[in-house]
Structure 1
Amino acid sequence: MKATLAVAALAAGVSAGSVHHRHIHAHAKKGYEAEDTCGCTTVYSTYYGEPTLIFPPAPSPEPTTASSTQVVVPTPIPQTCPTTGVYTFPATTITLTDSTTVAVPYTTSVPAGTHTLGGVTTVVTTATTVVCPYATVSTSEGVTTSVIESTTYVCPSAGTYTIAPTTTTVTEDTTVTIPSVTSYPAGTYTQPEVVTTVYETSTVVYCPFDIPTPSSSSVETYVAETTPVETPVYVPETTSTPVVETPIVETPVEVPTYPVTTSVPEPSTTSSKHTPKPTQGSPGKTPAKGTPGKPWAVTYTPYQTTPGGGCKSQGEVNSDIAAIAAAGVTTIRVYSTDCSTLEFVGGACEAHGIKMILGIYVDEPGCDAGNPSVTEQISSIKAWGKWNLVSLITVGNEAVLHGFCTPSELAGLISTTKEQLSYTGPYSTAETVNIWQQEEFSSLVCPVVDFVGANAHAFFNTETTADQAGQFVKGQLDIIDNICAGKEGRVMETGWPNAGQALGLAVPGASQQAVAIKSIVKELGDKAVIFSLTSDAWKDGNTQCQCEQHWGCASVLGINM
């Protein structure tokens, strides 16, 4: 079921994760040797500017209003939260009287090995000389500074050239910093107040600035002057590459613990402060809604619910789907193709008039169609091809949150999946709301999805009681409705455990689960997938909340198993 909860805005996204086959909640030397195969001649000159690697002090460990350090340009401000709790980052406004070009440091996660990052990609249509700035770093007397250097390329023919990338070698999975040339026009930039619930110690939160209000009619929107080779993304510094579990159904999966917040201030109820400017794009395809008074869908995995686990038989799957249909739930969400999902579950859905939300699961680094697990799933779905049963397809379930994909990799995988499958209905992914709110994520993923799919669990917000679950999740839906312009949001996972340990005001229990799910269905049932049909004893019960085995809610939904 759910896994590591990185950063979730109080009215913006709590985390819930999964592991494939178990679906639980799992500047080295500078690259002066720019590509010379084109026969280009390179001449370098250096321009040093103001230092831009600015690290503001960490906010108070107590969940009170946090302070931040003024920055000279409107780059997202990194804030370190040393303990769990609710943090408030006040609004910040920066006014630039002149256009400013600086080297902005970005971070990205990379596996062990040698990587070519950064630089500038230039396309020329004829023999020409290209003069452009690029970003790098300079270290002097222990001080690291981002600087902008200029290079001249004399290219003898048309083609695409990579100018001045940086070669970085790391011995283990880590996060590296990549400077990138970024230009800001004159104008006023505002970073709105952000109220964030932190579930892990030493979490780093990035607070982005809104698109600027121009200071004159001649200033247009912010546009970076150069295009990096690899789009850098922000990754919380506490995120590490999870251990890849062996994809065998019989083996229980280790579930991360959930730190409990014991002291938190009154939460903010203004969700608009957390909503980024919608990303432009064409309107998407809208998934069908559920039956009024019923959840849109319920999650289903064809696994035995006993401690040993294992795959259910065809007869057992058919019995489960028949019970779901009899209760008036019209759609189920599956995560992958394991345990004969397409054959057994698909066949039962076809027999009982149930629609399917198909999933392509990414459970290890290798976020592309070349990953054997991903290849197998796409091939199986393509061969199966019963599109009349498919309501929509999700590519990845919290794959970015858990470090299996970068935003650019996920966007590429979604596009590749669309190309390989003949399904013409809606596609999306399932990430937590705080991941969707990151501009680096939404700018890349919004253009390739048809709607915004997000997992939102009220239980992991320590300030939410069971009767407030529907209101909380509805707030999450309101946020994601405004992430991608013209594309509505859907909640791909939400629920409440029927047993376990309390997390602040969030108390598990059978009666609390009934109250929470009733309130969720009332507020947004026709746009929400309820997690999950059954409680699963094969999951790890030794977690902070001790709730991983107890999310089954069939009886609450009137499903007689």
Structure 2
Amino acid sequence: MKTTTLAAAAIGMLQLVSAQPHRRRSHIHERQHQHAKKDGDVVVTIVDTVYAEATEVPEVIVYVDQAGKPVSTTTQMVNVPDAGAWSTQHGLAPSPSTSATPSSSAVSTSSSSSSVAAVTSSAPVVAAPVVNVEAASSSSSSTPAAVVVAAPPVESTASPATTSATAPAQTSTAASTSSSSTSSSSESSGFGISYSPYNSDGTCKTQSQVTTDFESITGYSLVRTYGTDCNQVATVLTAAKAKGMKLFAGIFDLSTLSSEVATIVSAANGDWSSFDTISVGNELVNSGTASASAVVAAIGTARTLLKAAGYTGKVVTVDTLVAARANPSLCDASDYCAVNCHPFFDGSYAATDSGKFLQDMIPTLQDVLSNKSQQIVITETGWPWKGDSNQKALPSLENQAAAVSSIKAAFSSSPDAVFLFTAFNTLWKTSSSAQFDAEQYWGLDGRNSPSG
């Protein structure tokens, strides 16, 4: 049995007239390596509440097993720093809306070791619980996905290969804490849009490039991303805030779930107000990458980790409508049913009937859900402007415009239930006949990214 030690400091209430405790928001600060599995023992010191004059307090140490269940406790006395230290060095204790962030080297992990040193900083730090994600996802090899694929999925979700040389340096989100512009929000149609922060050669975009891209993204309330590589949660979050948009963030790989959650938590920096949803995987069952049971287990793990970090928003998995219909447990485990659905790949609908196609498909999914009234959100839909024809589905700029118009009309009363695919052409992808050689050309209005 592996044991994780959590230390919680409890300080007695001082009998001071009109004195109130100053609580400081806790954050996770972790430098992670992409795709590095993390398991083993973690020792973290959590400082929860700071008062003015206490000098010695009892510290309760709780020993838990790998499942997080307490098995024993012990108590010891620990010294408290000089009561005047905070006020002398920092003035008044920070209000709940401010936070002090330790340097990026304060806590570190490596691919060969999962031990984490206790942190000493001017603000308390809470580390995400360590969960053996491999155990949750191991069933993917023994339980095949039961999926009937009527048409190939449009989104090739494999992120471009990145290394430490191509990934941009970590960008602080502190500058984005200022009030966001509300002009674009007030002009928003309410629809969402997907975005990928990669250059045409597959390398990572910088904060400046992402900001440039977002300057030309107007009329949308939500933006969807798919992973955590390329520092994209931080860069997209900064650009989205400036446009008054909220983020639908994604966890790409179940095998690196805990580190990807840590990356999202670090980017949020204690402020979850700009996060609408966090998804666990994209079309993993449809592609045969994972079984439905493995994805459901990962949703539960992610939800637990995120809740421990202060996130109380929506957690879902995204798959194709066909895969979700064959595996309704994906929706049952999600806070709403999130599916990708593309009329182009059906082939029996013309571009002008794209909205009708979605309206025809949604009831077939609702029929198999445990909760027949569960919200269904179309997390990808659109039309390519270039590529090969698929029966009645013909790629062209004119047909793309007709398809988008049809979709918007069909969901005019619930625009937040649709994400259009995609903001710009994805030239870093590889075209294939299975995708009708259209994979790179779904950018709305045929646009390439303005930043390259």
TM range (shorter): 0.5 to 0.7
Q: Contact (CA 8 Å) 1:395, 1:427: kept in 2 or not? A: yes
1:318 is aligned to 211
C-alpha displacement at 1:503, in angstroms?
Answer: 0.5
Residue 534 (1) aligns with residue 424 (2): yes
Give 1:352-371 correspondences, 5 Å limit. 352-362=243-253, 367=254, 371=255
After TM superposition, give the deviation of residue 528 of structure 1 in Å: 0.7
Alignment pair present for 1:331 and 2:222: yes
Deviation at 1:484, TM superposition (A): 3.9
Cα gap change, 1:513 to 1:353, in 2 (>3 Å):
same
What is the Cα deviation at residue 174 of structure 1?
11
One-letter identity of the residue aligned with 2:384: P
How big is each residue's C-alpha offset from its partner over 1:215-259, in whole Å with a ceiling of 9 and x where there is no partner?
Answer: xxxxxxxxxxxxxxxx886356999xxx99796149xxxxxxxxx
Amino acid at match of 1:312: K
Answer whether contact 1:494 1:528 (CA < 8 A) is retained: yes
Q: Find 1:397's aligned residue among 282, 285, 302.
A: 282
Matched, 1:234 2:234: no
Residues 90-147 of structure 1, C-alpha deviation per residue, up to 9 Å, x if partnerless? xxxxxxxxxxxxxxxxxxxxxxxxxxxxxxxxxxxxxxxxxxxxxxxxxxxxxxxxxx
What corresponds to 2:49 in structure 1? Answer: none
Distance 1:508 1:472 in 2: 17
- Report the alpha carbon displacement of residue 295 of structure 1 after superposing the two structures with TM: 5.6
For the Cα contact (< 8 Å) 2:320–2:339, is it kept in 1?
yes
1:97-496 paired onto structure 2 within 5 Å: 234=146, 248-249=161-162, 294=189, 296-304=191-199, 306=200, 308-324=201-217, 327-362=218-253, 367=254, 371=255, 373-385=256-268, 386-422=271-307, 423-438=311-326, 441-442=327-328, 444-482=329-367, 483-485=369-371, 486-496=373-383
Per-residue deviation, 1:351? 2.2
Q: Give the TM-score normalised by structure 1.
A: 0.45
Deviations 1:289-308 (A, max 9, x none): x989836200001111x3x2
Q: 1:560 to 1:513 in 2, by over 3 A?
A: farther
> Structure 1 residues 433 and 244 mapped into 2: Cα distance closer, same or farther (>3 Å)?
closer
Query: Residue 194 of structure 2 contacts residue 223 of structure 2 at CA under 8 Å; is this kept in 1?
Result: yes
Distance 1:528 1:355 in 2: 14
Task: Count the aligned residue pairs.
Answer: 277
Distance between the aligned counterparts of 1:233 and 1:349, measured in 2?
A: 35
Q: Report the Cα distance in structure 2 between the residues aligned to 1:514 and 1:237, rounded to whole angstroms.
A: 27
**Could you say which residue in structure 2 is the equivalent of 1:148?**
none
Aligned-partner Cα distance in 1 for 2:295–2:325: 16
- Residues 192 and 223 of structure 2 are in contact (CA less than 8 Å); yes or no, is this contact kept in structure 1? yes
More helix by share: 2
Displacement of 1:350 in angstroms is 1.9
Q: Using a 3 Å threshold, how does the CA distance of structure 1 residues 432 and 554 change in structure 2: closer, same or farther?
A: same
Distance 2:345 2:302 in 1: 32
Amino acid across the alignment from 2:161: I
Match of 2:79 in 1: none
Q: What is the TM-score with the length of structure 2 in the denominator?
A: 0.55
CA RMSD of aligned residues (A): 3.4
Q: Report the residue type matching 2:404 in the other structure.
A: I
Q: CA deviation at 1:542?
A: 3.7
Q: In structure 1, what is the Cα distance between the partners aligned to 2:210 and 2:345?
A: 30
Are 2:140 and 2:294, in contact at CA under 8 Å, matched by a contact in 1? no
Return closer, same or farther for 1:291/1:233 CA change in 2, 3 Å cut-off: farther
Paired AA for residue 480 in structure 1: L
Deviations along 1:485-537, whole A, 9 cap, x unmatched?
A: 14110100000000111000100001110001110111125011000011122
Structure number with higher strand proportion: 1
Contact 1:399 1:431 (8 Å CA) reproduced:
yes
Q: Which is worse superposed, 506-515 or 399-408?
A: 399-408
Q: Offset at 1:480? A: 3.3
In 1, the alpha carbon distance for the partners of 2:186 and 2:409 equals 12
Query: Do the aligned partners of 1:299 and 1:531 also contact (CA within 8 Å) in 2?
Result: yes
Q: Distance in 2 between matches of 1:560 and 1:487?
A: 39
Structure 2 residue 441 is the aligned partner of structure 1 residue 550? yes
Q: Structure 1 residues 389 and 532 mapped into 2: Cα distance closer, same or farther (>3 Å)? A: same
Distance (whole Å) between structure 2 residues aligned to residue 237 and residue 502 of structure 1: 19
- Distance in 1 (alpha carbons) for counterparts of 2:293 and 2:437: 35
Distance 2:208 2:149 in 1: 47
Amino acid paired to 1:294: S
Matched residues in 2 for 1:499 and 1:236: separation?
Answer: 27
Distance 2:451 2:140 in 1: 48
Task: Indicate the SS of the match to 1:387.
Answer: coil
